[in-house]
Amino acid sequence: MTMRGLQATQAAVLALAGTAFAVCCVLPLAYMVWRSLASAPQGGAPVVAALLLDARQRELLANSTLLGAGTALGATLIGAPLGVALARVALPFKGVLRVALIAPLLLPPYVMGLAWLYLGGSAGLVARMVGRDVLSPWTYSLAGATFVLALVFFPLSMLATEVALRRVDGRSEEAALMVARPGRVLWRITLPLAAPAITAAALLIFVLAISEFGVPGLLRVRVFTTEVFTAFAALYDFNRATILALPLLVVSVLVTAVAAVLVGERLIVTRRGTRAGRPVSFDAWRRFAIVASMCVLLLALVVPLAVLAYEASGVRSFAAIVRGSREAITNSLMLATIGASLVVTIAVWLGYTRARVSRGLGRIADVLWVVLFATPSTVIGVGLIGLWNQPGMVGAVYGTDAMLVLAYLARFVPVAALVLGASVRHVPASHEEAAAVGGAGWLRAMTFIVLPQIRLGILTAWTIAFILAFGELGASILVAPPGATTLPIRIYTIIANTPPAQVAALALLQSAVVFVPLAALGLGVAVREVR
Amino acid sequence: MAGLWIAVAGAACRSVDSAGDSEPTVTVYVSTDRVFSEPVLREYEQRSGVRVNAVYDTEETKSTGLANRLLAEQNRPRADVFWSNEPVRTLVLKSRGVLAPYRSPSAQGIPDALVDPESYWTGFSARMRVIVYNTTLVEPDGAPQSIFDLADPTWKGQVAMADPRFGSTSFHVAALYTRVGNAKMDDFFRKLKMNQVRVVEGNSVVRDLVARGEVKVGLTDTDDVNVAIEDGQPVAMVLPDKEGLGVPMMPNMVSLIANAPHAEQGRALIDYLLSSDVEQMLADSEAVQIPLHAGVPGPENIPAIDSFKPMTLDYAAAASRVEDATMRLASILEL
């Protein structure tokens, strides 16, 4: 795609999306980096010194990398097979099962960590039941933190895999089935075609895991994110914090590069026909898929919820807290809906552009999105304050709910762009070319040919953006207007100094509030598919 | 797409309109726990008719906190008042020029040591750093009486403390380094490390570990322990070093923000927060904070302020040691 070949409408729409992306996502980080470099004395010597990590910091960075890689691997190993099962196996009550399997993503990671702590701590439920501490050495470990985060994030891989497999052309699989067993077809034909989406999800999970400090802190795993956090929360040094975030961003870039090498050409547009053949079913694995789904549901949803419900059973004044949270719940649902919709509105054009540009530019876009998404939320929050807390028209936005939406855009447009980029790559450019030959304008081709083919990708990106926006805390607490609140802000400002029962009850409340609309959405989609 | 941007504009206008009406308002950033501070501020709204726009803080390890927001907003402040639950943040903000001086008439009767000579902050309603112990695992007579006892091999693997880089624990360790000196404190923390101290993410986690019996003793704050006691959990507290070094006390601190948009309302709110009525409310709440005005009855579960020796401390000197103590302990405790 060259600028010369762009229609005026196409150029205008893509330029508008690009500008929105630059203003909302790139500027806050650019502002913070500029500020750090500009205020560094002695020709930037302190910047260089901060980047030369000492032995302790290198160990922390290694821990973070292991945590991210382990979580991405674990979540993919759990999520990708489930995605295959949802896409290609005739499972009973599939709509309900899908919604239930997405539900762990709705539990804030910190809450999932808390549930496993109540269960596997040295005086947890297991220790009390068996009469001795058998689990805590494992619970308080890098492996334990990896396990917990994998259980939270596997639905991302599952959704990405399912959406990708629904786009795979069944004809190549049918041809392969004539000479190979289903397992070999899945491994050699089906999964490689879904590799871009699975890889994008794994990258997203890696970034989410290395950005986490709540679960590692809870399970006493030392990670590099805490160094960035310490610079903010203990030393109040914005510049040091921004500089210390750079090693995390470098790791993210390296992992993106490794993923690109591993997946190779498959990260590039697949110019195959789509919907040309009916997707092959792998119903021979139905029983195994059902058992595996139930096991995952048990570990990732039933056990944590049961533990939280057990802990919450001792709560005394929960009803009063729920009553006091009405405004926060309404605010959160409204802002997350607006935020997710705007995120997808911008990201869909970015994803389209990424799918249609050259391989090199596409990879640069992937790296940029991963870096932006890996940027600590506090860096984004402080950047937004610096940019928007100004006199005049710009300053009129600051101190309003719009700042929360801007925070969601800054943090989550890159994620949605990654997801949608992978999705658009399954739509052959020849479809648009054919529409153009038939006289359709670019916008018409997009509206009636491209967007309908990526509707599941759009729905996935919207769902992910909604969940992430609904749970956002780090940037929100810095830019929320005085007197206004979101549910996570309210909950996390209440749980300081409350008994564990109340903390567990509030965690259940947060999960329930976000679960209801998403469950309705998921079941609605399932019913429509059945019809 | 345009429709969605209009929706955002709508959300923005909603707040702009509500901020633009004639109702008198004051904006306060509060790091004192919301469950304790919100009723105090609601009461002020009732009494004064002034709308209070409050921004509350999370526990120190859940987000980077309001002090960062105040620093980031320094060029165009939105807050009028900062109500902090410990001294360090206030003193950092003072040193960075975020605060403005204000000597409230309500500060009359508060001990001089807890009022900034330059009037940038005034202390009220104090908490203490205490040793919490599990009453089913430790007899009252056997509980440690000094924080230095925690390094004794008797308590090996049985001590928890919050991450000393954050919150009231960072103030506590900075105070100890200031009073006791580097060599002795480095040695103490090395011994604590050898004693397999559990460094956890917050003071409430310390309390919960002790209450569940995962460890026998821990270092935390009075309000954390009291919440567990009120909840019927098997914990009790010891005021450490009350015979020697003194018990570390952490007053709330309230300050006016420099160039506050509603400075007059901010001063009025500060007058209210420093009143005996507010100290009484905080003493009667689960926060069990100790009133600093003479004549205000203290909380039932906490010894009166004149019944023990408080640690004498130059708060500014302690705040200036935070960065150094943070770096030392990150290395010694391998954080």
Comparing alpha-carbon positions, the chain A residue that sits nearest to B91 is: A236
At residue B169, what are phi and psi to the nearest 5 degrees? -70, -35
CB contact under 8 A, A482 and B54: yes
CATH number for the region B127-248+320-332 comes to 3.40.190.10
pLDDT tens digits, A353-394: 998 888 888 888 988 998 898 888 888 998 999 999 988 888
Average pLDDT over residues A25-39: 87
Residue B6 has pLDDT above 80, yes or no: no
pLDDT at A70 over 90: yes
Q: What is the average pLDDT value for chain A, to the nearest integer?
A: 84
Q: Over 60: is that where the pLDDT of A523 sits?
A: yes
Q: Any chain A CB within 8 A of the CB of B233?
A: yes
Q: What is the pLDDT of residue A531?
A: 62
Give the residue among A347, A345, A336 at the shortest CA–CA distance from A413. Answer: A347
Mean confidence (pLDDT) of chain B: 88
CA distance linking residue A445 with residue B71, whole number of Å:
49
Q: Over 50: is that where the pLDDT of A268 sits? A: no
Residue A177: CA count within 13 A, CB half-sphere: 12
List pLDDT tens digits, range A182-216: 778 888 888 888 888 888 889 889 988 998 877 88
Q: Domain residue spans in chain B?
A: 20-126+250-302, 127-248+320-332
Cβ-defined contact of B233 to A399 (cutoff 8 Å):
no
Of A56 and A48, the one with more pLDDT = A56
Q: Which residue has the higher pLDDT, B104 or A225?
A: B104
Is residue B4 within 8 A of residue A338, CB to CB? The reply is yes
Q: What does the pLDDT read at residue B19? A: 45
Give A279's pLDDT tier (boundaries 50, 70, 90).
low
pLDDT score of A231: 81
Cβ contact B92–A473 (<8 Å):
no
| Interface test with chain A among B38, B42, B68, by most A beta carbons within 10 Å | B68
Report the pLDDT value the prediction gives residue A487, as an integer from 0 to 100.
86
Q: What is the pLDDT of residue B12?
A: 52
pLDDT digits (tens, 9 = 90+) for B281-308: 999 988 899 999 888 888 887 887 778 8
pLDDT for B242: 85
Beta bridge partners of B126: B251, B290
Mean pLDDT within B100-127:
93
Task: Give the pLDDT score at A8.
Answer: 82
**Dist CA B329 CA B321 (whole Å):** 12
Nearest chain B residue to A405 by CA distance is B8
Q: Average the pLDDT over B14-32 and give the result.
A: 72
**Among the CATH numbers 3.40.50.300, 3.40.190.10, 3.60.21.10, 3.40.50.2300, which is that of B20-126+250-302?**
3.40.190.10
How far is residue A125's CA from residue A118's CA, in Å, rounded to a whole number? 6
Taking the CA atoms of residue A300, residue A304, residue A305 and residue A310 in that order, the dihedral angle to the nearest 10 degrees is 160
Among A159-173, A457-471, B254-268, the range scoring the smallest mean pLDDT is: A159-173
Strand B99-100 with B249-257, pairing? antiparallel
User: In the predicted model, is pLDDT for residue A26 greater than 60?
Assistant: yes
Q: What is the residue type of B128?
A: M
Going by pLDDT thresholds of 50, 70 and 90, the confidence category of residue A62 is very high
Residues of A in contact with B322 (CB under 8 A): 234-235
Query: Same CATH topology for B20-126+250-302 and B127-248+320-332?
Result: yes
The answer to whether A296 and A105 are in contact (CB under 8 A) is no
Average pLDDT of the residues in A233-255: 84
List strand residue ranges (DSSP E) for B211-248, in order.
Answer: 217-221, 235-238
Mean pLDDT throughout A517-526?
Answer: 76
B-chain residues within 8 Å CB-CB of A222?
A: 334-335
Q: The pTM is what?
A: 0.82
**In whole angstroms, what separates CA B247 from the centre of its chain?**
15
Q: Tell me the CB-side half-sphere exposure of residue A352, using CA atoms within 13 A.
A: 27
Is residue B251 within 8 Å of B114, Cβ to Cβ? yes
Residue A236: the pLDDT is: 81
Is residue A68 pLDDT above 70, yes or no? yes
Where is pLDDT greater, at A528 or A397? A397
Exposure string of B231-242, with b = 16+ CB inside 10 Å and e = fewer, is: bebbbbbbbbbb
What is the reported pLDDT for A204?
Answer: 85
Closest CB to B63 among A385, A397, A473: A473
Cβ separation A338–B11 shorter than 8 A: yes
Number of helical (H) and strand (E) elements in chain B, helices listed first: 12, 10
What count of other Cβ atoms lies within 10 Å of the Cβ of residue A93? 10
Query: pLDDT tens digit string along B52-68?
Result: 999 988 766 555 578 88
Statement: residue A257 has pLDDT above 90 = no
Ramachandran quadrant class, A399 (left: phi over 0; alpha: psi -120 to 50; beta: rest): left
Q: Where are the alpha helices (DSSP H) in A425-499?
A: 429-437, 442-445, 451-453, 455-471, 476-479, 487-494
Considering only CB atoms, B34 lies closest to which of A335, A494, A501, namely: A494
CB nearest B11 (choices: A136, A400, A492): A400
Inter-chain residue contact B12 with A401, CB threshold 8 Å:
yes
The residues pairing with B253 across neighbouring beta strands, listed in sequence order, are B84, B123
Is some CB atom of chain A closer than 8 A to the CB atom of B76?
A: yes
User: For the residues A18-40, what does the mean pLDDT come to?
Assistant: 88
Residues of B in contact with A347 (CB under 8 A): none
Amino acid, single-letter form, for residue A397:
V
**Which of residues B258 and B319 earns the better pLDDT score?**
B258
* Residue B1 pLDDT greater than 70, yes or no: no
DSSP A92: T
Reply yes or no on whether the pLDDT at A517 is more than 80.
no
Instruction: Tell me which residue has tokens 């005394």.
Output: A316
Band of pLDDT at residue A260, cut at 50, 70 and 90: confident
To the nearest whole Å, the CA of B108 is away from the closest chain A CA by: 30
ipTM reported for the complex surpasses 0.85: no
Q: How confident is the model at residue A267 (pLDDT cuts 50, 70, 90)?
A: very low
What pLDDT is attached to residue B284?
A: 92
pLDDT in tens, A110-131: 888 888 888 887 777 888 888 8
pLDDT at B7 over 60: no
Instruction: Please tell me which residue of chain B has the smallest CA distance to A503.
Output: B204
Q: pLDDT value at position A271?
A: 38
Phi, psi of A213, deg, nearest 5: -125, -10
Lowest-pLDDT range of A398-402, A478-482, B10-14, B331-335? B10-14
Handedness of CA A399, A327, B36, B68 (dihedral sign): negative
Task: State the pLDDT at residue A168.
Answer: 76
B35 at interface of A, judged by CB pairs closer than 8 A: yes
pLDDT at A177: 78
Q: In the predicted model, is pLDDT for residue B177 greater than 60?
A: yes
- Comparing alpha-carbon positions, the chain B residue that sits nearest to A133 is B214
pLDDT band at residue A414 under the 50/70/90 scheme: very high
Residue of higher predicted confidence among A279 and B15: A279
Please report the pLDDT score of residue B308 as a whole number.
Answer: 83
Point out the residue among A342, A378, A385 whose CB comes nearest to the CB of B73: A385
Give the closest of A346, A382, A401 to B15, CB-based: A401
Whole-number Å distance between alpha carbons of A458 and A446? 13
Q: Among A262-271, A447-456, B117-126, name the one with the lowest average pLDDT.
A: A262-271
Q: What is the pLDDT of residue A406?
A: 96
Cα torsion A86, A90, A93, A95: sign: positive
pLDDT at B151 (0 to 100): 94
Q: What percent of chain A has pLDDT over 70?
A: 90
Give dist(CA B215, CA B229) in Å, integer: 17
Residues 89-118 of B with CB under 8 A from A: 92, 96
